Amino acid sequence: EADIYQTPRYLVIGTGKKITLECSQTMGHDKMYWYQQDPGMELHLIHYSYGVNSTEKGDLSSESTVSRIRTEHFPLTLESARPSHTSQYLCASSEFGQGAGRSGYTFGSGTRLTVV
Amino acid sequence: GENVEQHPSTLSVQEGDSAVIKCTYSDSASNYFPWYKQELGKGPQLIIDIRSNVGEKKDQRIAVTLNKTAKHFSLHITETQPEDSAVYFCAASIGAGNMLTFGGGTRLMVKP
Tell me, what's the pLDDT at A103?
A: 65
Q: Which residues of A touch B42 (CB under 8 A)?
A: 109-110
pLDDT of A99 above 50:
no
Query: In the predicted model, what is the mean pLDDT of chain B?
Result: 95
pLDDT of A98 above 60:
no
Mutate which of B9, B98, B108 to test chain A, going by most A C-beta atoms within 10 A? B98
Do the chains contact at B41 and A48, CB–CB below 8 Å?
no
* Number of CB pairs, chain A paired with chain B, less than 8 A apart: 69
pLDDT digits (tens, 9 = 90+) for A41-59: 899 999 999 999 999 999 8
pLDDT of A97 above 70:
no
Nearest CB to B107 within list A41, A90, A110: A41
From A78's Cα to the closest Cα of chain B, the distance in A is 21
pLDDT of A102 above 60:
no
Asked if A62 contacts A82 with a C-beta cutoff of 8 angstroms, the reply is no
Nearest alpha carbon to residue B104 among A32, A52, A38, A73: A38
Query: In the predicted model, what is the mean pLDDT of chain A?
Result: 90
Quote the CA–CA distance of A15 and A81 in Å, as a whole number.
5
Tell me, what's the pLDDT at A51?
A: 93
A5 to each of A65, A83, B42, how far by Cα in Å?
A: 19, 25, 12
Mean pLDDT check: name the lowest of A13-17, A91-95, A108-112, B71-75. Answer: A91-95
Quote the CA–CA distance of B103 and A55 in Å, as a whole number.
24
The answer to whether A42 contacts chain B (CB < 8 Å) is yes
**Chunked in runs of 10, what are the mean pLDDT values of chain B (112 residues)?**
95 98 96 94 93 91 96 97 97 86 97 94
> Taking the mean position of all CA atoms in its chain, how far away is CA A79?
16
